[in-house]
Amino acid sequence: MTGEDVRQVFEAILPEQEIERLCGQCGVVERQRKLHLGMLVRAMVIAAGTPGGAYQADILRSYLELEVPRVARSAFYRWFDEPLERFMTALADRALAYARAQQIDLTGILGGVKDWYIVDSTTVRVRDALQEEFPGTGAYAALKVHKVLSVGCGAPVHYHFSPAREHDSRHLQIGASWQGCGLLADLAYASLARLRACNAHGVRFVIRLKDNWKPKVDSIARGHVTQEFCSGTDLDVLLDEEILQLDGRAIDADVRVGGTKNPLHLRLVGIHTAKGYGFFLTNLPPRIGPRQVADLYRIRWEVELSIKLDKSVHRLDQIDAERPCSVKTLLHASLIASLIAALLAHTHNVGTRPPQEDAPRTEAPLHSRRLALQLAVSCQSIAQAFELKGKAAKRRWQQIADLLTHSGRDPNWRRRPSVLDQLRGWKRQPVVRKQLSRDNLKAAA
């Protein structure tokens, strides 16, 4: 990863001219002698990864370190108003559009779709005084962050907020914009109407089988079947009567769900795990085997890692604001900070990808979390790099890139590649240990 790569990501997501344009469009009043909006936005994103007792107080400290006019804390907090929230919403939309425009890294069985999208949400508790605006499921205030993560670029491409009381399922709509894509989701988003929408719009999906769904089995392509059965037999009957035996073999069957009037024809895949059999429904073609289907579903864990990055590094669940507009402003800042780390990791990993798909990877990939931790340490250096010009700017950005590359490497990528890395063709490579010579062994003894 070069300094130019790092500069492009930061200037694409936090551009000075676009910040000024959005400032006027969203109604943010910028008094140059008191408020430098570009500095404030960078301070919000930078402070998202710095430890401290209160998020807004950390923003103030970061802001004052950027050589701006001094401001009292009370006056500073008043800047977090509705126009600033509208501005951060527009800036976040622009950053997400930049993420959607990235080069997609999908190889092997990951191909065949424009991109795989993973959907999930996380709950963020806020001050109880905000319960009227953000009702939780109990006697507390909370809101949900609904996220759509791209497997192809490893970064969020959509997100929005809702009261925590609302169910996740109503916040996922499959429409024409999903045409040719893939969906990975947990049981919170499982519904027959959504699966029908996926088929209607050409969306591939892998989802777990709900306990209350009763699939009718038409045929079994793989699995240990002890005797013939009639087409349309309940899966539970086949299992109870041991016609279909769960003996550790993979299962691949054609099934119908959704009743007799408007049945939905899908594949049912069963894979034996340490916790028993896991069953999945999919509309992927048979060339994608049962274990590959299960591996695709395991990629859903990437969104959990993304949420962990939001909370553990960028303090998504430590918002201490007192007004709804301030809460949403800070949420946007945290999510933009995570987006930057994810896109920097993706930029490096795509740039160091072997030219041939089946060639082994020789350079360690970068981890978003390790990058984010280093970004928090280098926050002031990055903020100052925006103000430099010419050779000085080029030298500073290259220093930042070298440090991020060194600190962001995954130390375990050879021994323990993730499921996603293995599906991309990053084969396990044994660690080569140096053998001691006979003389060295004698000396060691």
Summarised one tens digit per residue, pLDDT across range 300-319 is 999 999 999 999 888 888 88
**What does the pLDDT read at residue 429?**
55
**What does the pLDDT read at residue 424?**
80
Average confidence score pLDDT of the chain? 87
Cβ atoms 408, 345 nearer than 8 A: yes
Contacts of 444 (CB under 8 A, 6+ apart): 436
CA distances from 175 to 200, 202, 214, 321 (A): 9, 10, 27, 35
Q: Tell me: the pLDDT tens digits for 239-256? A: 999 999 999 999 999 999
Confidence of residue 52 (pLDDT cuts 50, 70, 90): low
The size of the chain, in residues, is 445
Mean pLDDT in residue range 2-16: 90
Helix (H) or strand (E) holding 276: strand 276-282
Cβ atoms 218, 255 nearer than 8 A: yes
Q: Tell whether the model's pLDDT for residue 418 goes beyond 60.
A: yes
Question: Cα dihedral sign for 352, 358, 359, 360?
Answer: positive
CA distances from 65 to 43, 69, 112, 248 (A): 9, 10, 49, 61
**What does the pLDDT read at residue 430?**
53
Place of tokens 């950053």: 95
State which of 39-43, 181-185, 438-442 shows the largest mean pLDDT. 181-185
Place of tokens 């007192």: 322
Distance, CA of 183 to chain centre: 13
Question: Cα dihedral sign for 223, 224, 230, 236?
Answer: negative
Mean pLDDT in residue range 167-172: 94
Kindly state the tokens that stand for 436: 């001691």
**What does the pLDDT read at residue 154?**
93
Distance, CA of 334 to chain centre: 13
Confidence of residue 436 (pLDDT cuts 50, 70, 90): very low
Q: Tell me: the pLDDT tens digits for 69-104? A: 788 888 888 888 898 899 999 999 999 999 999 999
Q: Which residues pair with 234 in a beta bridge?
A: 216
Taking each helix axis from N to C terminus, what angle separates 324-351 and 301-312, rounded to the nearest 10 degrees?
A: 120
Query: Which carries the bigger pLDDT value, residue 29 or residue 432?
Result: 29
**What does the pLDDT read at residue 54?**
59
Number of helices and strands in the chain (H, E) = 16, 12
Cβ atoms 164, 137 nearer than 8 A: yes
Q: Tell whether the model's pLDDT for residue 287 goes beyond 50.
A: yes
CA distance 107 to 130: 46
Average the pLDDT over each of 104-118, 286-300, 352-366, 367-381 and give the range with the smallest value: 352-366
DSSP of 60-106: HHHHHTTS-----HHHHHHT-SHHHHHHHHHHHHHHHHHHHTSPP--
CA distance 84 to 57: 17
CA distance 435 to 441: 10
**What does the pLDDT read at residue 1?**
84
Kindly state the tokens that stand for 34: 């008191």
Radius of gyration over every alpha carbon of the chain, rounded to an integer in angstroms: 25
Cβ atoms 288, 327 nearer than 8 A: no
Mean pLDDT in residue range 37-55: 74
CA distance 213 to 258: 8
Contacts of 193 (CB under 8 A, 6+ apart): none
Cβ atoms 125, 142 nearer than 8 A: yes
